Chain A
Amino acid sequence: MNSGSSSSRLRSIASTLAVALTLVLAAAAGCDSREEPALPSVQEKMRETHIYGQSKLRIGVATNEPLMGELRNGQHVGFDVEIARYIAASLGYEGDQRLEFVSVATEDRIPSLQGGTVDLVVSSFSITEDRKKLVSFAGPYFVTTQEVMVPVRLKDKVRTIEDLRDPAYKVCTSGGSTTEAELEKHQVRTFVVKDVGDCVDGIRKGRYDAVSSDESILAGFLASFPKEFEIVDMPFGTSELLGIGVPIGDPALRDLVAYFLQKSYEQGRDGDASPWQTAYNRTLGPWLKAEKRQPQPLEVPKLVDFDDKAPAK
């Protein structure tokens, strides 16, 4: 009898505790549902950028790198341009009304970002430690290697870096590029011009004998003159990580660009048609020797966006 009453008392105390705890949990859940997200949202980041409220987004692109960034019949086309369009649309700038492509030469990429004449640069911009002191990078969005392109008449004569050192061959490259520094490291005497396109022109006119640059850029010229040139695979040993240049004073914009690159990367990884893959297939894809995939962007911030609740598969 006594044990029965004590167990019943124990029961009723347990019941009381359970009711109280449930109420506390429910209250905590109610408070939680009214809280702001702990992570910053894309929209919050947008408000921090210097482009917020700007009516047009200005993106620096190349106009004379076939397949990457080219001005054809007044239209900007190429892989870089397509990536730029994707980033711009993600940032809220879609259509020609709101997007302005600014032609930027290889050597002007950093000054134009520093001077504020463009908001972003998408123009075969290799990420390097030295450049990181001057501008911020989001990416990489493409990994390429340095190669050499020679006219067909020289394809059997220029095969190695050693051959390039031969003063008989005039090697041309664009100023302010990573290639220039790399060739210098290998003690190759170079003729430095403004753009790779000038080198190609020069070779066709007989002024130079070889041009060195990123494989992606050279592939573009090869696509333009498939009968006249050949790309020689040389062991330069460095890979070029192409990134999107952002003014160094705007970390929020850099974060956003990285976030949207990551979004495309995740889409592609799941086997869907990502914006990157579409851009690649339409431009570079058919002209590169080896199939490429979007590299994983680095230093991607965790942000909250509206489509976070969408099913993963």
Chain B
Amino acid sequence: MSTTSTATGGDGPVPPPRTSASGAAADSPTFDGTAPAPPVLVGPAADAGGDVAWPAGVPVAEPTAPVVADVEPGRVRWDPAERRARASQSFWTALVGVPAIFSVLRLGVEAGGELQTTLLLVANVGPVNLLAGFLTTAARLLSAGLVAVFALGAVLAVSADRLPPGSRRRPLFARWADITPAWVVLASFLLALITWPLLYLPLLLPAFVAAFQLRPGRLHDRVVPRLLLIGALLAGYGWLMLPTLRAAVQQGDESLVLALIVVPPLLALFIAGPLPGMVIRPLASVTEVAVLATLVWAAVPVISTPVLPLTVTTVGPESGPTEDVRGHVVTTDDVNMVILQEKGGVRYVPVGLVRAQVLCPSEEELPRHQLRIHDFHVEDSLLEGMGRRVRPVHRIDAACRTPA
């Protein structure tokens, strides 16, 4: 029996030729003398009774299909190296492809669904700008997705051996967490750390503990120093957050903020699994659907976030009446300034008529909470907060107040 499974494992359903050779050779030591042969031939050779010398005309690809059909579905064992190679391939494909596709979709939305306007944008917005613009708005969504997958995956993976007997596959996120190199996980957490609003950063704590399985036991072998260490860590966190908590209590009606600040560090103490066998399967399926749904739901605002900065351009002849055009400047040449108006439509303004232009904030940037953590606004990310320290004064130009 073992020979068959090794054999099928060696040949695999659709093996990419690059990496499989060495893996297959290493995996099939039972086949004396067959190892040097091309791996595709191993399966049929075993079926045919171990005859090694094949005539030259034997078809190569044909017999693989029945072999795969014989194999119990879901039992296909991939060679780990090969699997990793494919995973990394799909990872990089997704990393480049998803932003590219999203960026192009965003252009269509930005253009108000008009084909000609979309083409105008495509012609004038460079791919690098587009990608950079996308990353600045989507980084927090992207990192949130990755963090959720890795944290859940690690918890599910450590609980997987408790699965009720008869379960065949490990949960999807667990497999993803298995094959992802630690540096990718770490990078996702770092990206989240600098792009998430400060208010949501405490959630990163249990997620990090879960993803790297940092049980309290790892802190110290003995119980008392362990408790002291935990106490010290929590006290440090409390010192950081206490003024904010006090302000939140004073403002009232900020129960979510209170929960978001207080609860996650406590959860971090218990989150590192393993989970009871009976909840693994439902948790895995529910979270898979939930993460997917959340990503789709959160992707809508990302798609509809403008690609180009919002400006107000004052247009009018010298010493004559002026008009404010609110919109996004697509391009400027010697003759015209092309403005995609906020209310829709493209406006070609002769360059000679442009009197002034100012950059304006959009209403989505208005804060929802009036709280700060040591003078960093809770809705700023660390990056934004640091940026505000570099350029502290932000004056809203009068023209931005005028209606569109």
Residues of the A chain whose Cβ atoms lie less than 8 Å from the Cβ of B269: 18
**Of A9-17, A111-119, A201-209, A214-222, the one with at least 4 CB within 8 A of chain B:** A9-17
The chain A residue with its CB closest to the CB of B363 is A43
- Roughly how many angstroms separate A42 CA and B274 CA in the complex, as a whole number? 50
**Of B57-65, B110-118, B367-375, the one with at least 4 CB within 8 A of chain A:** B367-375
Residues of the B chain whose Cβ atoms lie less than 8 Å from the Cβ of A38: 253, 368
The chain B residue with its CB closest to the CB of A256 is B401
Contact A30 B294 (CB under 8 A): yes
Contact A310 B263 (CB under 8 A): no
Contact B203 A308 (CB under 8 A): no
Contact B207 A22 (CB under 8 A): yes
Q: A15, A93, A302: which contacts B275 (Cβ < 8 A)? A: A15
Contact A306 B200 (CB under 8 A): no
The chain B residue with its CB closest to the CB of A307 is B394
Tell which of A9, A34, A92 has the most Cβ of chain B within 10 Å: A92
Q: A14, A15, A309: which contacts B388 (Cβ < 8 A)? A: A309
- Roughly how many angstroms separate A32 CA and B322 CA in the complex, as a whole number? 41
Is residue A290 within 8 Å, beta carbon to beta carbon, of the partner chain?
Answer: no
**What 0/1 pattern do residues 160 to 178 of B give for CB contact below 8 A with A?**
0000000000000000000
Contact A309 B290 (CB under 8 A): no
Contact A310 B273 (CB under 8 A): no
- Min CB distance, A214 to chain B, in Å? 30
Contact A14 B270 (CB under 8 A): yes
Residues of the B chain whose Cβ atoms lie less than 8 Å from the Cβ of A33: 197, 200
Contact A21 B398 (CB under 8 A): no
Is residue B206 within 8 Å, beta carbon to beta carbon, of the partner chain?
Answer: yes
Residues of the A chain whose Cβ atoms lie less than 8 Å from the Cβ of B372: 312
Contact A12 B389 (CB under 8 A): no
- Min CB distance, A303 to chain B, in Å? 10
- Roughly how many angstroms separate A53 CA and B367 CA in the complex, as a whole number? 25
Q: B203, B375, B388: which contacts A26 (Cβ < 8 A)? A: B203
Is residue A187 within 8 Å, beta carbon to beta carbon, of the partner chain?
Answer: no
- Roughly how many angstroms separate A14 CA and B155 CA in the complex, as a whole number? 13
Residues of the A chain whose Cβ atoms lie less than 8 Å from the Cβ of B203: 22, 25-26, 29
Is residue B2 within 8 Å, beta carbon to beta carbon, of the partner chain?
Answer: no
Contact A307 B396 (CB under 8 A): yes
Is residue A305 within 8 Å, beta carbon to beta carbon, of the partner chain?
Answer: yes
Residues of the B chain whose Cβ atoms lie less than 8 Å from the Cβ of A9: 276
Contact A12 B274 (CB under 8 A): yes
- Roughly how many angstroms separate A25 CA and B400 CA in the complex, as a whole number? 36
Is residue A167 within 8 Å, beta carbon to beta carbon, of the partner chain?
Answer: no
Residues of the B chain whose Cβ atoms lie less than 8 Å from the Cβ of A35: 368
Q: Which of A53-99 contact B (CB under 8 A)?
A: 53, 88-94, 97
List 12 other contacts, CB 8 Å, given A21-B267, A88-B398, A313-B375.
A9-B276, A12-B274, A15-B270, A15-B274, A16-B283, A18-B267, A18-B269, A41-B363, A41-B366, A43-B363, A92-B401, A307-B395
A residues near B (Cβ < 8 Å) are 9, 11-19, 21-23, 25-30, 32-39, 41-43, 46-47, 52-53, 88-94, 97, 302, 304-313
